[in-house]
Amino acid sequence: MKIATWNVNSLNVRLPQVIDWLANRQPDVLVLQELKLDQDKFPRAAFELAGFQAAWYGQKTYNGVAILSRAPLENVVCGIPGFDDEQKRVIAATVNGVRVVCVYCVNGEAVGSEKFAYKERWFAALTDYLRATLAEYGQVALLGDFNIAPTDLDVYDPEAWREKIHCSSAERQWFQNLLNLGLTDSLRHLHPDGAHYTWWDYRMNMFRRKLGLRIDHILVSAPLLARLQQVHVDTEPRGWERPSDHAPVVGEFA
């Protein structure tokens, strides 16, 4: 089973790229973030033509998440139950016995800002949600754009980013709180060393200079970890014309 995540930074702009990527990489499941589309504007027909069912939670201009799957999507849930939030950031569904939870986590803007306080509340709600999800489902994959680089290894210049947004001690603790539930960072489980960046600023030729952050992740529960075979960042799409600033992360499971 091949499961992938990709922040496409506008599905309207990137739809041809996503369709090509699906055809060439042949995942079983692809979750998307930053659709930037109203619910009724989602290109369902294009994905069905490509052989994928879809569930989505859209929002114009900002946010928006989706799950694409070759197999049926069961028990779809949008948002974090019990958390009042106008922003469309979470969608979950069961695919072949695996509970797939797609997240577009809050950016937070700057440490100490109002948006950072919202990010803290949001991660607390997400952690509670995943605690309940793990209690209900054995095989769980939590994946998406977390907007957190968990360690200095995940940052091209740790000193420049020290205690800045994405890299603050508080945010890293929120990420650790998810791991403490019994989830494992799949990429670091297989690749404990080296840079595996997933995001590069559009400015200053950062991608070609290999100056990025690893903020897109696939976290898995213990039963799914036992099936893990490989994880990698597919950097090729980041080099395409008019790319997203993120690259897909792909996990393969027996």
Which of 28, 129, 137, 145 is catalytic? The answer is 145
CA distance linking residue 179 with residue 142, whole number of Å: 11
If we measure between CA atoms, which residue out of 3, 91, 82 comes closest to residue 42? 91
Contact 66, 34 (CB under 8 A): no
Which of 28, 57, 104, 245 is catalytic? The answer is 104
Tell me if residue 208 falls in helix, strand or coil. coil
Query: Has 129 been annotated as catalytic?
Result: no
Query: Has 145 been annotated as catalytic?
Result: yes
At residue 84, φ and ψ (nearest 5 deg) are -75, 110
Sort strands 98-104 and 74-78 into parallel, antiparallel or unpaired. Answer: unpaired
CA distance linking residue 68 with residue 54, whole number of Å: 5
CA distance linking residue 143 with residue 151, whole number of Å: 18
> Which residues are designated catalytic?
104, 145
